[in-house]
Structure 1
Amino acid sequence: MKFYALLILPLGTDVYDGSAVEAAAARLMQPFEMWRDDGPPGEWDYYWCCTREWLVEHGEDLAEWPAALADAGHLVVPVDALCEGDATFAVVTPEPGWFNSRATYTDDDAAWGGRAVEIFRGFPGHYAVLAYCHG
């Protein structure tokens, strides 16, 4: 399954430095690797942080992310600006925590947007980067 996730970056991450964003994302995603035998069940076998360029090349409309930082190379958004319509399939938090929709190919998860907003509101002042994942 391929999906998007919002990775809520730890406070202090330099969101204009692509290497810093990638390093923070790697630390957030590491506990959820599919091939790990210890810890929670894995959620991904590969991912990458979405650059604005990659998204445009793949037909994504950046206008759907009006709060995204225009000067950042990756699609980075202030968490305070995220709303229900911004809820991706999964949200990864600095705890670490992995939260995802219960939607399937045949069933929707009507409660997910509201739940995602609850998660977002728990991280005032943070930024999130959009990641493309396969799990």
Structure 2
Amino acid sequence: KFSYAPQLLLVDGGKGQLGVAEQVVRELGLENEIPVASLAKRFEEVFIPGSSKPVEVPRGSDALFMLQVIRDEAHRFANRFHRELRGKAMTTSSLDGINGLGAARAAKLIKALGSVTAVKNATLEDLALLTWLPEPVAIAVYQRFHS
């Protein structure tokens, strides 16, 4: 829900992406409330529903510049968001948060079994063979992946 309806839904792409956006807006019952247009990057063409040809927006015009800035800002925002997600994924592990399993012990466990996947697939008996791993921690590791 919007606190107020957008004045325009601008889609990055050509006629195909515009068609998908139109379908979504229609499925949401908003086709009479939110106009849709698309901006195709290669030739900076603007498409609107019901027209197979692009709208003529003069190159170098303020209108085209504004649409490009909106598109580029959306790209910048999305790229930063995904970079942050990847960064978090690189610094977290499925072993995080297991009681008694800190960073050093987790690294030793991964080294002993060969990979995080091997840790996930380990049986309780496999973990019990690691004499340096306390039994309560072995049970906690096993339960994390087998409950």
Range into which the TM-score falls when normalised by the shorter chain = under 0.3
Write 1 or 2 for the structure with the bigger share of helix.
2
Question: Given the two structures, how large is their TM-score scaled by the length of structure 2?
Answer: 0.26
Question: Given the two structures, how large is their TM-score scaled by the length of structure 1?
Answer: 0.28
Larger relative contact order (C-alpha < 8 A, sep ≥ 6)?
A: 1
Which has the higher Rg, Structure 1 or Structure 2? 2
